[in-house]
Amino acid sequence: MPRIAVTMLLLMSSHSVNAASLRVAPTSLELVAPSGTAVLNLANDGDHPINVQVRIFKWSQTGGTERLEPTRDVVASPPSTKMSPNGQYVVRVVRTSKAPVKAEETYRVIVDELPDPRLARAGTVTLIMRHSIPIFFKRADIKPANVSWNLNRQGNSLFLTGKNNGDSRFRLSNLTVTQGGTKIASRNGLVGYVLSGATMQWPIATAKSLSSSAITLQGQSDLGPFNANVAVAKP
């Protein structure tokens, strides 16, 4: 499944490169009940037409891994289109489920630029864009994220695990882990999300011995900079 952010798919093997051209904005959507409709703005920056497919998946986290499952509770309209060169297009995202929103619901919109066989040429690599846009439907009165953190070793890697007991997701980026004033791990940019009621983990460093001194996590969340204590999981 695609990770959070934009991924590129390489098609064909060769020596020169044809640039991908699809842009999508905004990069995330948040709707507070009873609102159930939002829009995505697509742009084709290229000099040739492109075919675009839009799909929506239910997004969950199980056992520390991401899961995307087909859903009809939220739909995209239209689900596909052909965009002219330097053209723009609007896609509506609609929550069709009649069930009340409980806490926070999480989905992802996958927007793919489809390969055009007519443009394929021998000796080229075509870069095809895939955008993965998170969508959050939530009640206005939900409790914020409440994440507890720990470190554990798995093979040759040191993993950071977050368990979220709150009603809202937690977005983690630009993390630094220190122990006794010494940096033991860091990752720049987006690390990922811990969804409501879920547990998520990420490799952050090669395995190393940890002393008994306190471990601190610093990073960026949805609400700005934060500091948290980190426990060391027993083997």
> What would the pLDDT profile of 60-99 be if each residue is shown by its tens digit?
998 889 999 999 999 999 999 999 999 999 999 999 999 9
Ranges of each domain in the chain: 22-138, 147-232
Give the strand pairing for 16-18 and 124-138: parallel
Please enumerate in sequence order all residues whose Cβ is within 8 A of that of 225, keeping only pairs 6 or more positions apart, or say none: 218, 219
Give the strand pairing for 224-232 and 215-221: antiparallel
- CA dihedral over 100, 101, 107, 111, signed as positive or negative: positive
Q: Which two tokens stand for residue 192?
A: 């990922």
Q: State the pLDDT at residue 6.
A: 39
Helix (DSSP H) and strand (DSSP E) numbers for the chain: 0, 19
Q: With H, G, I as helix, E, B as strand and everything else as coil, classify residue 156.
A: coil
Q: Using the predicted structure, report yes or no on whether residue 119 has a pLDDT greater than 80.
A: no
> What would the pLDDT profile of 174-226 be if each residue is shown by its tens digit?
999 999 888 999 999 999 999 999 999 999 998 777 777 789 999 999 999 99
Q: State the pLDDT at residue 191.
A: 97
pLDDT band at 125 (very low <50, low <70, confident <90, very high): low
Q: Are domains 22-138 and 147-232 of this chain identical in fold?
A: yes
**In the CATH scheme, what architecture does the domain 147-232 have?**
Sandwich (2.60)
Closest-CA residue to 175 (of 222, 109, 124, 221): 221
- Contact (CB, 8 A) for 130 and 175: no
Q: State the pLDDT at residue 126.
A: 60
Q: Is 191 left (phi over 0), alpha (psi -120 to 50) or beta?
A: alpha
- Fold of domain 22-138: Immunoglobulin-like (2.60.40)
Q: How many residues does the chain have?
A: 235
Task: State the residue for tokens 């499952």.
Answer: 69
Q: Which two tokens stand for residue 13?
A: 């093997």
**Between 191 and 115, whose confidence is greater?**
191
In the chain, what percentage of residues exceed pLDDT 90? 70
User: Mean pLDDT over residues 154-160, rounded?
Assistant: 89
- The whole-model pTM stands at 0.85
Closest-CA residue to 137 (of 101, 165, 91, 98): 101
> What would the pLDDT profile of 7-48 be if each residue is shown by its tens digit?
444 333 333 344 568 999 999 999 999 999 999 999 999 888
Please enumerate in sequence order all residues whose Cβ is within 8 A of that of 20, keeping only pairs 6 or more positions apart, or say none: 8, 46, 113, 126, 127, 128, 129
Q: Which two tokens stand for residue 111?
A: 């927007």
Rounded-to-integer distance, Cα 144 and Cα 112, Å: 32
